[in-house]
Copies of this chain bind each other. A is one copy, B any other.
Amino acid sequence: MTKQRKLIKDIVYASYKHPTAEEIFESAKKKMPSIAVGTVYRNLTLLVESGEVRKIDVPNAPSKYDRPQIPHEHLICKNCGAVADVDLVGLLDVLKQKTCEEVIEYKLTMYYVCPKCKNF
């Protein structure tokens, strides 16, 4: 882990809001004036791949970055009733965006046919 990568990760983790790559870049330049945008993007991609940072896709706007959190929801099999946990990272943001409201929390249950039942 290079100091650039460390710096970028620290900025994301320390941010009170969800910063964009550009904002992270601006912030990083204060500590390390020579850092390049390309480096920020490259490292964000790497950090997202390793799961250290979470990317939030925002339609018609630059992506935002955040530390990962692990909420989870349930998928219920319509056939056998088995419950699977699913990690629905980013759903709250999707709901906020789709409703255009400051959604605080939500209750969600999904229904499907589980892999086992699907094979019979």
Query: Which A72-112 residues have a C-beta within 8 angstroms of B?
Result: 75, 78, 86, 88-91, 94-95, 98-99, 101-112
A106 close to B111 (CB less than 8 A): yes
Q: A60 on the interface (CB 8 Å rule)?
A: yes
Contact A98-B107, Cβ < 8 Å, known A57-B59, A59-B57: no
Using C-beta atoms within 8 Å of the partner chain, give the interface range for chain A.
20 to 34
A91 close to B98 (CB less than 8 A): yes
A113 to B105, CA, bound (A): 11
Instruction: Choose one: B60, B90, B95, B110; the contact of A99 (CB below 8 Å).
Output: B110
Instruction: Choose one: B90, B102, B108, B112; the contact of A108 (CB below 8 Å).
Output: B108
